[in-house]
Amino acid sequence: MTRKAKLKRLGLFGGTFNPIHYGHLRTAEETAEALNLDQLWFIPAAHPPHKAPEAVTSFEVRLEMTRLAVGRHPVLKVSDLEGRRPGKSFTIDTLRHLRARLGREAELYYILGLDAILEIHTWKDYRELFTLCHFVVLDRPGYDRGHLQEFLRQEIHKDFQDLPQGGGYLHPSGYQVLFQHTTLMDISATQIRRLVRSGRSVRYLLPEPVRRYILQNRLYLSG
Residues at the interface with ligand ATP (CB under 6 A): 15-18, 23-24, 27, 112-113, 115-116, 138, 140, 185, 187-190
d(CA 21, CA 162): 32
**CA angle in degrees (0–180, nearest 5) for 136-139-142:** 150
Write down the least CB distance from residue 82 to ligand ATP, Å: 13
Write down the least CB distance from residue 155 to ligand ATP, Å: 17
Write down the least CB distance from residue 52 to ligand ATP, Å: 13
Q: Which is nearer to ligand ATP, 106 or 112 (CB)?
A: 112
Write down the least CB distance from residue 117 to ligand ATP, Å: 8
d(CA 78, CA 44): 8
Q: Which is nearer to ligand ATP, 106 or 205 (CB)?
A: 205
Q: Which is nearer to ligand ATP, 105 or 144 (CB)?
A: 144
**Residue closest to ligand ATP when measured from CB atoms:** 113
Are the beta carbons of 136 and 10 closer than 8 angstroms? no
Residues 6+ apart with CB under 8 A from 184: 139, 140, 141
d(CA 73, CA 126): 31
Q: Which is nearer to ligand ATP, 22 or 38 (CB)?
A: 22
Are the beta carbons of 37 and 11 closer than 8 angstroms? yes
Q: Which is nearer to ligand ATP, 24 or 171 (CB)?
A: 24
**Listed residue (152, 97, 113) closest to 130, CA to CA:** 152
Strand partners, 134: 109
Q: Which is nearer to ligand ATP, 6 or 181 (CB)?
A: 181
Write down the least CB distance from residue 214 to ligand ATP, Å: 14
Cβ neighbours, 10 Å, residue 12: 23
Write down the least CB distance from residue 90 to ligand ATP, Å: 15
